[in-house]
Amino acid sequence: MKSMTGYGTSSVKGHYMEMTIEVKAVNHRFLECHLKLPKVLQTMEDRLRKAMKEQVSRGKIDLTIHLEENFDKKRTLRLDEQLLDQYVEAIQLLKVKFGDSIKIDLATLLADQSIASVEEVSENIEIDEQGVLAGVESALQSFNSMRETEGGYLKKDMEDWLHSLQGYCEEIRELAPTLVDRYREKIETRIRSFLDEGLEADEGRLLTELAIFAEKVDVSEELVRLQAHINQYRYYLEKHEPIGRRLDFLIQEMNREVNTIGSKGADTSMRQYVVEMKGVLEKLKEQVQNVE
């Protein structure tokens, strides 16, 4: 089991460049991949996206590659001769109008970047695409290792909550038969009261009422289904594949059974157990949001 959140990194060193690759992810209902690549690697975007999808099935994933070139760059002067000619013509016009007192400051003129600028020119280099792919795979492995570790903590936490949930089921299973017994005692007390007062008691009707009550508060089927969901949940926790959506569905089913038990609850103690069970299911739901 893996968490959806994680971080991984790797580096690739070549003759002309060094790359640092980072992979990080946060929770998301579906798979969403974002890539931040230097210009020279943008042609590899489809292959890198495919590599991510092979390793991750759910979450918002960011892949960032930082590129640092480690060779000397050539510098060249770029001169806009047409614009310079226009400046010279303008200066000559000013000289005619105001005399030779007008001085041409060449340094000031060339400081205008619209006329002259220094540009760095990188050498044409070949990208080691296999090296880039290997670096991305290494970063994804680091990323998945962290997700597996985090998933182990989530698994332990959920196992503890499942243990609590099963404990409440056992408490309700033991409590449920006593409800009928107590109601029977209540019915028998009523019958004796009628007899003491000289009234006739319709024993058949009272027994029918007891049977209806017993059926109304019977939660055995709900407990059986709830136990089946707990067992299925534990089964998925042992799977080495994405299970988040299936666990989310199971929690919905367990909530349905707990709500039914609550609606049948004819005792304060049973209602209290239902409240505790709902609290446990809410904790499980929060944790499942982090599971791939």
> What are the structure tokens assigned to 248, written together?
């989310």
d(CA 86, CA 290): 66
H helices of the chain, in order, are 45-55, 81-98, 106-111, 129-196, 203-216, 220-237, 244-264, 268-288
Mean of pLDDT values over 25-32:
92
Topology of domain 6-71+128-144, CATH: Ribosomal Protein S5; domain 2 (3.30.230)
- Model pLDDT for residues 174-228, shown as the tens digit of each residue: 887 777 666 666 666 666 665 555 555 555 665 666 566 556 667 888 999 999 9
pLDDT of residue 63: 97
Higher pLDDT, 59 or 84: 59
Place 136 in a pLDDT band, splitting at 50, 70 and 90: very high
Mean of pLDDT values over 122-144:
84
H helices of 197-243, in order, are 203-216, 220-237
Cβ atoms of 210 and 187 closer than 8 Å:
yes
Higher pLDDT, 205 or 45: 45
Instruction: Sort residue 267 into left (φ over 0), alpha (ψ -120 to 50) or beta.
Output: beta
d(CA 142, CA 135): 11
Least confident among 58-67, 117-126, 215-224, 237-246: 117-126
- Model pLDDT for residues 249-278, shown as the tens digit of each residue: 999 999 999 999 888 776 788 889 999 999
Mean pLDDT of the chain: 83
Place 81 in a pLDDT band, splitting at 50, 70 and 90: confident
Residue ranges per structural domain of the chain: 6-71+128-144, 74-121, 147-288
> What are the structure tokens assigned to 223, written together?
């407990």
Higher pLDDT, 30 or 92: 30
Helix axes 244-264, 268-288, angle to 10 degrees: 170
User: 117 forms bridges with which residues in the sheet?
Assistant: 78
Pairing of strands 74-79, 116-121: antiparallel
Long-range CB contacts (within 8 A, 24+) of 68-74 = 68/17, 68/18, 68/19, 68/20, 69/16, 69/17, 69/122, 69/125, 70/16, 70/17, 70/18, 71/16, 71/123, 71/125, 73/120, 73/121, 73/122, 73/123, 74/120, 74/121, 74/123
- Say if residue 122's pLDDT is above 60: no
d(CA 229, CA 223): 10
Rounded to two decimals, what is the model's pTM?
A: 0.69
Residue 54: partners with Cβ closer than 8 Å, 6 or more residues away:
none
Cβ atoms of 119 and 78 closer than 8 Å:
yes
Q: Give the C-alpha distances (Å, rounded to integers) separating 46 from 139, 142, 191.
A: 17, 21, 81
Sign of CA dihedral 138, 139, 144, 146: positive
C-alpha Rg value of the chain to the nearest Å: 38
How many Cα atoms within 13 Å fall on the side-chain side of residue 183?
Answer: 20
